[in-house]
Amino acid sequence: MAVKALSEYNFPAADTQDKFHGNQLLYVGWDDHLMFCAPFAYCIPPSTKFSELVEKHLPHSFGRHPEWAKVDFGKAVWLKSGQPFQPDMNKTLAEQGLKHKDVLRLQTPGLNGNGTYF
Amino acid sequence: MDMKANKKKLGLKEKYAHMTRGLDWQTTYQPMDKVFPQATFEGIKIHDWDKWEDPFRLTMDAYWKYQAEKERKLYAVLDAFAQNNGHLGITDARYLNAVKLFLTGISPLEYVAHRGFAAAGRNFPGVGPRVACLMQSIDEIRHAQTQIHALSNYNKFYEGFHAGAAHQIERIWYLSVPKSFFDDAFSAGPFEWMIAIGFSFEYVLTNLLFVPFMSGAAYNGDMATVTFGFSAQSDEARHMTLGLECIKFMLEQDPDNLPIVQKWIDKWAWRGIRVLTLVGMMMDYMLPKRVMSWKEAWEIYFEQNGGALFNDLAKYGIKVPDCITQCTVDKEHISHQAWCTFYQYAHASAFHTWLPNAEEMDWLSAKYPNTFDKYYRPRYEQWREMADKGERFYNNTLPMLCQVCQIPMVFTEPDDPSKICYRESDYNGEKYHTCSDGCKHIFDDEPEKYIQAWLPVHQIYQGNCWPEGTDPTAEGFDPMAKVLEWYHIENGKDNLDYEGSGDQANFAAWRGAATQNT
């Protein structure tokens, strides 16, 4: 339903991709690991390879967790917008259709802070 | 020579009638709907503004008299507090972090409320609500000023007060939560403003905001804040009555108003409750001497008192907001989720944090038997272990935020406290993320509004949160250091752990000097 207003109500969105200096936003959360209170927001180029996300950006954010070293990316399960997603490590974000403000959830079965969800 | 009075003085009721009715006229140079352009566009139908009953019948001269008397008392106490080093009488300087949150997060809202009620008063064609809004508008600016005066004394002695009430509200990530709440209300029409602030915030939720802060102040020896609280109390009672009168007036004027009013109540109850997450955290974690748990406060002030209110409104067809089911689950979680968030982002906050100690964790276990030991105690214990090893955990990456409430996406699924709750909407080819069904519902109803949200994390990434003249291409550029500079947070003084802070050391030294000979 439209906003009720005195005159035409049409204003630009605040966070369109053109405002991020050649980068895009990508959100990534690690399920069952609430040591990190919320999913992360990354601002990275669409030309970032998925392998770079996994080997550089995610370890920077999640590396302090005692279980991070145990994550086996061969077995990890990914969701994009809640739906199964099969990433290709050698492709860039753009090449595999990861758009501005897409959200990924990393699931690592068997790892959940020993049942505490830490 | 004395004037001869022919007639007895007017009674209060007559005086009130003269001063609030019949002051208006029909304009002739411009049609009335151009003079009051905001009176109809929201769809609320009012047939007879004279049906407005002001339950207080306060005239302007009486208003000034009462307020002046309260001001005199307040400033007498504030002077005495300052002259007698009242700040050393608080339970512990740790308590002042709650006060910093109040000054930076709540006092600016009083000021915006002042502007909002002034605007509502201007835009209502009826004289009764206009006078009531005028008085509330003046109350609100008085509250902002007296809070700033009352708390400014602490700025002489403690970190984190120096930016005052105005600078940080437009900048700091967590303060965008209360700010966006008021922006949302102020950018609606006058009737929605009255439901948002006059009814939902000032009536339904006000006790959950003020009672915890003022009782917290009383329990922790903060006489400055307590006295302010007393000074505001009689105003708050009037504001609650205005909010209630306004909703009843709208519902009695036309049956078509019911669905609009119900929609606003649903929206603003949820928006307000999300903001109160900060209050819940304050109650459960930030008071050295605690008043009651957030869950207990919720049960008394919302479930019981609010329940009675909605029973009263049922005769108009008003239903309890849908979000209550979710709130019943949330009351056992949100304060813990919020404190976990501030603990890990304490380097970017304008107050100190700490881990609850063993006694505090036992209190939390007792107050939250269903959730604390299972979900939150393990987190604090692991963080304690890391801190003891000299590896205190600070989160080094910016969080994803909810597009509507602007809180980081820390809330969990209603049926599973181990899973973050993700909701998303597509609008005009772009994705928007929300933290809950409540916020998603609000977004989907008016997406044109919320796509404009000033989300702190996105603004930092866009490069809009550095001091003027910053060159992000300079060698050794540290974006987060520049953000703190822009926030006016002094790194290493205002932020980080309470343990080891200047506040902690100074308070111990000063109190020691007052009670010992060494």
Within the 459-478 window of chain B, which residues sit less than 8 Å (CB to CB) from chain A? 461-463
Mean local confidence (pLDDT), B245-263: 96
Q: Which residues of B touch A32 (CB under 8 A)?
A: 418-419
* Weakest-pLDDT range from A11-20, B130-139, B177-186, B206-215: B206-215
Mean local confidence (pLDDT), B482-503: 97
Provide the CA B518 distance to its chain's centre, in angstroms.
Answer: 43
| Assigned token pair, B262 | 């119900």
| Assigned token pair, B307 | 């329940």
Strand partners, A107: A77
Domains observed in chain A: 21-107 (3.10.20.560)
Residue B1 clears pLDDT 60, i.e. is over it: no
Phi and psi at B128, nearest 5°, equal -55, -60
Which sequence spans correspond to the domains of chain B? 57-158+172-468+478-511
Alpha-carbon gap: A69 to the closest alpha carbon of chain B (Å)? 17
Model confidence band, residue A110 (pLDDT cutoffs 50, 70, 90): very high
Domain B57-158+172-468+478-511: which CATH number of 3.90.1170.20, 1.20.810.10, 1.10.8.50, 1.10.620.20? 1.10.620.20
Q: Which member of A1, A43, A100 has the closest CB to residue B445?
A: A1
Residue B195 clears pLDDT 70, i.e. is over it: yes
* B466: number of Cβ within 10 Å: 17
Q: Which member of A1, A29, A64 has the closest CB to residue B393?
A: A64
Cα atoms found within 13 Å of the Cα of residue B241, Cβ hemisphere only = 16
Alpha-carbon gap: A63 to the closest alpha carbon of chain B (Å)? 10
The residue among B169, B429, B426, B206 whose CA lies nearest residue B302 is B206
Q: Is B401 on the interface with A (CB under 8 A)?
A: yes
Amino acid code (one letter) for A26: L
Q: Which residue of B has its CA nearest to A24?
A: B461
The vertex-B94 CA angle with B78 and B272, nearest 5°, equals 80
Strand partners, A28: A40, A104
Q: Which residues of B touch A24 (CB under 8 A)?
A: none
Token pair 């954010």 is found at: A61
- Name the DSSP class of A5: -
* Weakest-pLDDT range from A7-11, B229-233, B429-433, B474-478: B229-233
pLDDT in tens, A13-54: 999 999 999 999 999 999 999 999 999 999 999 999 999 999
The residue among B134, B143, B129 whose CA lies nearest residue B71 is B143
Within the 333-352 window of chain B, which residues sit less than 8 Å (CB to CB) from chain A? 337, 340-341, 344-345
pTM score of the predicted model: 0.96
Q: What is the pLDDT of residue B3?
A: 66
Model confidence band, residue B518 (pLDDT cutoffs 50, 70, 90): low
- Number of residue pairs across A and B with CB atoms under 8 Å? 142
The residue among B227, B224, B333 whose CA lies nearest residue B284 is B333
Q: Is B408 on the interface with A (CB under 8 A)?
A: yes
Q: What is the pLDDT of residue B2?
A: 67
Residue B44 clears pLDDT 60, i.e. is over it: yes
pLDDT in tens, A46-84: 999 999 999 999 999 999 999 999 999 999 999 999 999
Inter-chain residue contact B378 with A118, CB threshold 8 Å:
yes
Q: Is B37 on the interface with A (CB under 8 A)?
A: yes
Residue A1 clears pLDDT 80, i.e. is over it: no
C-alpha–C-alpha distance, residues B1 and B457, integer Å: 73
Q: What is the pLDDT of residue B257?
A: 98
pLDDT in tens, B204-241: 888 888 888 889 999 999 998 998 888 888 898 889 88
Inter-chain residue contact A101 with B432, CB threshold 8 Å:
yes
- Name the DSSP class of B175: T
C-alpha–C-alpha distance, residues B335 and B285, integer Å: 8
C-alpha–C-alpha distance, residues A35 and B448, integer Å: 35
Q: Mutation test of the interface with chain A: which of B375, B403, B433, B465, choosing the one with the most A Cβ atoms within 10 A?
A: B433
Q: Is B35 on the interface with A (CB under 8 A)?
A: no
What ipTM was assigned to the predicted interfaces of this complex?
0.98
The vertex-B456 CA angle with B454 and B459, nearest 5°, equals 75
Q: Which residues of A touch B37 (CB under 8 A)?
A: 6
